[in-house]
Amino acid sequence: MVISQSEYYISPEEYLEGEKVSEIKHEYIDVQVYAMAGANDAHVTVSMNVSMLLRNHLWGSGCRVYMLGMKAQIEVINRYFYPDVMVTCDIRDKEFEYLLNKTL
C-alpha cells in the first residue's frame, strides 16, 4: 500500500482494511498514508524494556500495555499511529481487535 502523498487520498475505513493485509505498517494522517520505517536493535530493546516496566507496575490494575503492533486511533484529529508503547485503562478498548480508540 504505497501511495504518492499528493495524488491519492483514502478514507479511514479504506486505510484500516488495507492495514489488515499489508506486509508493512502505515500511519494515517489527515487522509494520507505514510509507510513506517523499520526499527533497529536499540530502539526495539528500549521499547521492550519500557513496556515490561509498565506491565510489571500495572499488573492487576486492569490496565493493559501494548507494544509495537497495536494501532492507536486519535479520532478527533483523524489520525492512526503505531506507538512503540502505549497503555490503556479504558475498558472500552477491549472492543477493538486492531486498534485502541482514543479521544483527546
Domains of the chain: 12-102 (3.90.1570.10)
pTM value is 0.69
Residues 20, 23, 29, 31, CA torsion sign: negative
Given a contact cutoff of 8 angstroms between Cβ atoms, the answer to whether 72 and 80 are in contact is yes
pLDDT at 99: 63
pLDDT at 74: 86
pLDDT tens digit sequence for 43-54: 889 999 999 999
